[in-house]
Amino acid sequence: MKRAAAVLFCLVLGTGANLRAQNSVEEQRVRKLPQAFCDAFTRHDGHALAGIMAEDVDFVTVGALWLHGRTDFEKYHTRLLSGRFRNVTCTNLQTLVRFLRPDFAVVHWTWTLEGDRNVDGTARQRRFGMMTMIAEKRNGNWQVDAAQNDDADPSPAPELGNDVRPVVPIPGSTPMQPCVFR
């Protein structure tokens, strides 16, 4: 009886270690999505950018445009990246991953953009923002099913009171974390 209990205990421990190792490997794969996004964005490659998106992606831009499907996502970003964003560089600042299931994850990541222009052609100042991606492992590959991209508003939110911590980690500030009401 003791031997059976010991074997069962070792199996449970071994399974936990395997799940943690598997989760760590999968987390590293999911964490590559924001960097792939920034790399393609900085290369001004709408096709490569669309390559990380699912065929049926839903993507909401910082301008509140809702793009449905990889084809529309690619057309929009190809035009954007060859137009007023043709000199832009995108940098991934920080990435947080939360698994909802082993094959389904939420990715919050912050970014900064430099070199973009307003619609009228005037230069914009360096921008910061946060994107939320819903990623799913399909046929062994992680792809983005849905995403919402947001510009950061540098002014403090009065709803948080006087003790405000920035959500987007502007270099030299605190790490990204949810808002905390005090």
> 90-140, pLDDT tens digit by residue?
999 999 999 999 999 999 999 999 998 988 989 999 999 999 999 999 999
Instruction: Indicate the burial class of 24 (C-beta count within 10 angstroms; 0-12, 13-18, 19 or more).
Output: exposed
Instruction: Specify whether the CB–CB gap between 94 and 175 falls below 8 A.
Output: yes
Contact 111, 131 (CB under 8 A): yes
Residues 181, 167: Cα–Cα separation, whole Å: 13
pLDDT of residue 146: 98
Query: In this structure, which topology does domain 2-160 adopt according to CATH?
Result: Nuclear Transport Factor 2; Chain: A, (3.10.450)
Of residues 158, 169, 164, the one with CA closest to residue 180: 164
pLDDT score recorded for residue 11: 40
Domain boundaries, the chain: 2-160
Count of CB atoms situated within 10 Å of the CB of 98: 10
pTM (predicted TM-score) = 0.78
CA proximity to 145, closest of 181, 102, 95, 107? 107
Which regions in the chain score pLDDT beneath 50?
4-21, 179-182
Distance of alpha carbon 17 from alpha carbon 14, whole angstroms: 5
Query: What confidence score (pLDDT) does residue 137 get?
Result: 97
User: Which pLDDT does position 23 carry in this prediction?
Assistant: 74
Q: Is the dihedral of CA 147, 60, 166, 85 positive or negative?
A: positive
Q: Are 50 and 72 in contact (CB under 8 A)?
A: no
- Strands 127-138 and 141-151, by their bridges, are antiparallel
